[in-house]
């Protein structure tokens, strides 16, 4: 039996010993001790890693064989983590943060580059990780000298006081795009020609605020000369910015992503990765990832990553993805969840507000297991993010990462398929066609999602989230229950698809104002046409809003209003439920699921997610829990490694609030 020392200093000093004990412990059960092979690849060999779609599922492959998409991120890879993580079989690392781009710019002058920072750090990585591979995060930030020399490349805002803050590039600047791309080209060539060139497996291309392709100012649009040049005519006043401007603003980012990814592919065989696809950012409108469909269609892009939702990470909450994982996967991109929840070893406790810093080891471990469960059940990747450095420097956490590696590898031999019968559609893009007064403030998307998604997570059944661009008939016909959120203004094709599915026994739940705009104008009969329910319009209706920084809720009113706020209609071949106020009731949703035949894995309003071979359970309350399976399975507890039973269709256990249980189904 393993004995982990309770004192932090002792745990730190004995981390290596603990790690070896962990491996030995698992080896005596169902675990297999990892035997690392020292890297012995010529720098001229091709990158062994690729993202391939196998059985309609994007998979990370090594030498054309699927591997567990499990990574470890650290600001700079440090010796203790490198040593211990290699011992437990982790070979994929990623590193660097935005501060490095400002403190150690590699683009130092006109056609002048300094790659010494990268050389020092990557050479150190190679020394520390003799069998590891690295995906450095490279920031596309215009350096100060460039912005001063070419002021026309700078972003500016309608509130001119904001222009006095730190200058940044406008994504619309053709001059910046070309010059930054050339700097990236020289960096990639340097990587390929360096002795460590074959130790790099990908480039994480970062830009904008926090490197997440956010706007540099989340509350103001770009009114720079570069944006005006992109539009080809003078900018309208801020209150009159139209769809043409919206497309120009958001596709400027997309064009930059494509340009940079193409350069990486032209100069190397490295994988390309970005942050993108966030769906819950309306309360910061100019941070939105407003051209998701175009990004998804980029053949030169391999990986899309996102941190999970910040506002619901505490024990007993859902910690759901911040990006549309099902849509990303459908387009052949590997989705990777950034697991940046803080353990008690974290130092930046001032960020405790919902981010979250666990108070105890037990709490942190259960959050790590929740992250792993989300990845396993959603066929996604995961990188544990050591955001404060030394946050996982304990045998306790190395053991959890080893467990994640082991079960992720076992999952490769089992059926990889989602089993959801619920499709959730986020039709957010339609807001750009709304009149200016409704475009961002007609409803608070942040409040809508942050109140609705946690209730969906407690239904007792998995669900898949799609962008409207992927909500086609071929996709949706595989689901029994279809939920439309953010659907105030949907496309004619989506409207037609939803109507065509009504006569095939489907059940629908409609969010606030679903389909109220038709042909780009408000039409009182449009909601009836879509939902089969009659509504009366009003000037306003109640709607909760979210404070952007504290995540506190307050009641507000929005315009227009639609009444009743809750209604339903039954037809011979389909059922329709309208829930116009986003504080949806989980018991109501649970009853709708049961009525329409969606299989429910539990009845206790705890958090579950499932695939064919994995089941995540996270307790929202303490007590005896009962789980049900749609068909007989051998159920193995991923925490203990014990087989719970064979040919099971139900099983029970006790759980405390915030406890995560993971089960393999075979």
Sheet architecture: strand order including 57-62: 49-54, 57-62, 65-66
Lowest mean pLDDT among 41-50, 381-390, 623-632, 646-655: 41-50
DSSP secondary structure string for all residues of 612-650: SSEEEEE-SS-EEEEEEEEEEEEEEETTT--EEEEEEEE
Residue 574 has a pLDDT of 97
Higher model confidence: residue 508 or residue 14? 508
**Residue for token digits 């989602």?**
418
Residue 44 has a pLDDT of 44
Residue 156 has pLDDT above 80, yes or no: yes
Residue 256 has pLDDT above 80, yes or no: yes
Residue 29 has pLDDT above 70, yes or no: no
pLDDT tens per residue, range 290-323: 899 999 999 999 999 999 988 788 899 999 999 9
Count CB-CB contacts under 10 A for residue 180: 24
DSSP secondary structure string for all residues of 75-137: SS--HHHHHHHHHTT--EEEE--HHHHHHS-SEEETTEE--HHHHHHHHHHHHH-TT-EEEEE
Domain boundaries, the chain: 8-411, 422-594, 607-665
**What's the CA gap between 258 and 13, in Å, rounded?**
46
Residue 649 has pLDDT above 90, yes or no: yes
Residue 445 has pLDDT above 60, yes or no: yes
Q: Please provide the average confidence, as pLDDT, over all residues in the chain.
A: 89
pLDDT tens per residue, range 501-523: 998 889 999 999 999 998 878 88
Residue 549 has a pLDDT of 62
Residue 67 has a pLDDT of 97
Helix (H) or strand (E) holding 546: strand 541-546
What average pLDDT does range 331-352 have in this prediction? 86
pLDDT tens per residue, range 461-490: 999 999 999 999 999 999 999 999 989 899
Residue 433 has pLDDT above 90, yes or no: no
CATH 3.50.50.60 fits 8-411, yes or no: no
Residue 228 has pLDDT above 70, yes or no: yes
Residue 1 has a pLDDT of 33
pLDDT grade for 23, boundaries at 50, 70 and 90:
very low
Percentage of the chain beyond pLDDT 70 is 88
Lowest mean pLDDT among 208-217, 282-291, 564-573: 282-291
CATH code for residues 422-594: 3.40.50.880
- Please indicate whether the domains covering 8-411 and 607-665 agree at the CATH topology level: no
pLDDT grade for 627, boundaries at 50, 70 and 90:
very high
The CATH number of domain 607-665, selected from 3.30.450.20, 3.40.50.20, 2.60.40.1180, 3.40.50.970: 2.60.40.1180
Residue 363 has a pLDDT of 96
- Measured on CA atoms in the order 533, 539, 544, 545, is the torsion positive or negative? positive
177, 183, 184, 186: CA torsion to nearest 10: 140
Residue 340 has pLDDT above 80, yes or no: yes
Residue 14 has pLDDT above 60, yes or no: no
Residue 563 has a pLDDT of 95
Helices (H), 129-242: 144-149, 174-193, 225-231
């Amino acid at each position: 039996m393993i004995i982990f020392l309770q004192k932090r200093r002792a745990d730190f000093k004995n981390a290596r010993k603990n790690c070896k004990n962990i491996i030995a412990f698992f080896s005596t059960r169902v675990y297999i001790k990892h035997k690392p092979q020292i890297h012995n690849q010529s720098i001229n060999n091709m990158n062994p890693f690729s993202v391939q779609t196998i059985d309609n599922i994007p998979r990370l492959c090594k030498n054309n064989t699927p591997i567990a998409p499990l990574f470890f991120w650290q600001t700079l890879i440090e010796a203790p983590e490198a040593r211990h993580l290699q011992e437990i079989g982790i070979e994929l690392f990623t590193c660097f943060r935005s501060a490095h781009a400002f403190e150690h710019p590699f683009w130092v002058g006109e056609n002048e580059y300094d790659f010494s920072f990268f050389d020092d750090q990557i050479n150190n990585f190679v020394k520390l990780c003799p069998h590891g591979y690295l995906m450095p995060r490279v920031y596309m930030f215009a350096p100060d000298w460039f912005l001063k020399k070419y002021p026309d490349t700078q972003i500016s805002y309608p509130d001119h006081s904001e222009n006095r803050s730190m200058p940044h590039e406008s994504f619309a600047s053709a001059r910046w795009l070309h010059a930054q791309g050339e700097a990236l080209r020289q960096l990639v060539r340097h990587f390929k020609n360096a002795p460590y060139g074959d130790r790099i497996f990908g480039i994480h291309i970062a830009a904008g605020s926090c490197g997440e392709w956010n706007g540099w100012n989340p509350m103001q649009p770009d009114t720079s000369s570069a944006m005006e040049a992109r539009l080809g005519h003078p900018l309208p006043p801020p209150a009159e910015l139209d769809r043409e401007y919206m497309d120009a603003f958001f596709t400027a980012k997309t064009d930059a992503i494509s340009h940079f990814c193409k350069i990486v592919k032209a100069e190397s065989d490295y994988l390309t990765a970005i942050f993108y696809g966030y769906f819950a950012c309306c309360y910061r409108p100019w941070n939105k990832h407003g051209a998701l469909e175009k990004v998804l269609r980029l053949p030169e892009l391999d990986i899309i990553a996102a941190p999970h939702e910040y506002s619901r990470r505490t024990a007993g909450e859902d910690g759901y993805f911040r990006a549309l994982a099902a849509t990303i996967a459908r387009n052949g991109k590997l989705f990777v969840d950034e697991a940046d929840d803080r353990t008690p070893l974290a130092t930046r406790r001032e960020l405790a507000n919902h981010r979250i810093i666990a108070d105890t080891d037990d709490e942190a471990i259960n959050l790590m297991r929740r992250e792993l469960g989300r990845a396993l059940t959603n066929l996604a990747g995961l990188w544990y993010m050591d955001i404060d450095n030394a946050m996982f420097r304990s045998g306790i956490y190395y053991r959890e990462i080893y467990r994640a590696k082991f079960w992720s590898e076992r999952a490769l031999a089992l059926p990889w398929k989602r089993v959801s019968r619920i499709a959730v559609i986020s039709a957010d893009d339609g807001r750009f066609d709304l009149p200016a007064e409704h475009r961002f403030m007609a409803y608070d998307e942040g409040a809508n999602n942050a109140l609705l998604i946690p209730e969906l997570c407690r239904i007792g059944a998995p669900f898949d989230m799609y962008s409207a661009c992927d909500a086609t008939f071929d996709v949706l016909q595989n689901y029994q229950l279809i939920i439309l959120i953010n659907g105030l203004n949907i496309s004619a094709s989506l409207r037609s698809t939803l109507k065509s599915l009504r006569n095939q026994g489907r059940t629908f739940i409609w969010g606030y104002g679903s389909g109220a705009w038709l042909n780009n104008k408000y039409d009182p009969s449009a909601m009836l046409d879509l939902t089969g329910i009659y509504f009366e319009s009003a000037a306003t209706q109640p709607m909760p809003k979210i404070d952007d920084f504290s995540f506190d809720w307050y009641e507000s009113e929005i315009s227009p209003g639609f009444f009743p706020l809750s209604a339903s209609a039954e037809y011979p071949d389909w059922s329709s439920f309208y829930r116009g106020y986003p504080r949806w009731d989980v018991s109501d949703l649970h009853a709708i699921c049961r009525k329409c035949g969606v299989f429910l894995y539990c009845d206790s309003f705890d958090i579950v997610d499932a695939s064919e071979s994995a089941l995540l359970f996270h307790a929202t309350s303490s007590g005896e829990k009962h789980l049900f399976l749609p068909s007989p399975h051998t159920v193995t507890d991923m925490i203990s490694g014990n087989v719970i039973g064979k040919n099971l269709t139900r099983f029970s256990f006790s759980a405390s609030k915030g406890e995560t249980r993971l089960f393999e189904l075979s």
